[in-house]
Amino acid sequence: MNTPDPDTFFVGYLDGVAEPTRRHLVRWILLALVVMVGAGGAAAALQNESRAGVFEFGVVRPFAGWVERVPHPVLVVPHGPDEAGASRYLLTAFGKSGADHHFEGGAPDTWYEFDGTLVHRDGRTMVEVADGTVRAATAPDDVLRPASEAVDLGTVTLRGEIVDSKCFLGVMKPGSAKSHRACAVRCISGGVPPVLLVRDAEGYATYYLLVDEAGGAVNERVLPIVALPVEITGDLERQDDLLVLRADPDDYRVLRAD
């Protein structure tokens, strides 16, 4: 029978660790660290949610353009003089609220200037309007109001999830699914524009602003089904670079989760 080497024993009340035991522990500790770092990296790589959305917290920029208020405030910024059309930016306010109160009483053709913070993801951009900075002004003489006409894209049936645009575009991570449902309900009930998030087979996302058949807001009517898988059949239109889906929320169909 082999007799253990007493020099390899570890006694807790004595100082020091025997060299063979030390080498053994170091190897296993290093291996554990490698596994932990690798697992963490793999988990981070799989979390598209955590890296896709951007909220430029603390960065305040000047913005200017026409603001359309129905169904939600949208900043319309014309492209350059050599390019037709405009870009449309959904607007929100600080916290879990829409930006309606910042532009109350303004006519559709009013030029506004204000400061705000960008929220963006997958080519879709929102601006969080800074309190106390909104002012009606006169558009520069060389900037003309773009003739933005809605383009009818026909009737479509889409499957996806209703999310609040502010959180999902970057303010919260994750900003979708049941783990975010309570927050999304509060945001949408506060006036943040609800959008239908649709992913293709490769995981790329497209966003559709949800409105009723007349183009009105649907916020209160979609609250019971926020964060649930739904199927919506409605009329799709493109307003510059913004996709808008018109449908009666009573006709939305909740799908059984996989």
SS3 state of residue 112: strand
CATH of domain 151-254: 2.40.50
| Band (45; pLDDT cuts 50, 70, 90) | very low
Arithmetic mean of pLDDT, 165-171:
85
Strand 61-68 versus strand 111-121 pairing type: antiparallel
Q: How far apart are the first and last CA of the chain?
A: 60
Same fold, 53-137 and 151-254: yes
pLDDT for 46 equals 44
| pLDDT tens digits for range 57-80 | 899 999 999 999 889 999 999 887
Arithmetic mean of pLDDT, 203-223:
94
Q: How many CA atoms lie within 13 A of 122 on its CB side?
A: 16
Indicate the domain borders of the chain: 53-137, 151-254
Side chain identity, residue 220: E
Arithmetic mean of pLDDT, 248-253:
96
Q: What is the DSSP string of 22-36?
A: HHHHHHHHHHHHHHH
| pLDDT tens digits for range 18-39 | 666 667 666 767 666 665 655 5
Q: Which of 90, 82, 95 is nearest to 65 (CA)?
A: 90
Region of poorest pLDDT, from 20-34, 70-84, 194-208, 213-227:
20-34
| pLDDT tens digits for range 96-150 | 999 999 998 777 778 999 999 999 888 889 999 999 999 999 998 888 888 777 8
pLDDT for 248 equals 97
Arithmetic mean of pLDDT, 183-206:
91
Per CATH, which fold does 53-137 belong to? OB fold (Dihydrolipoamide Acetyltransferase, E2P) (2.40.50)
Arithmetic mean of pLDDT, 73-101:
89
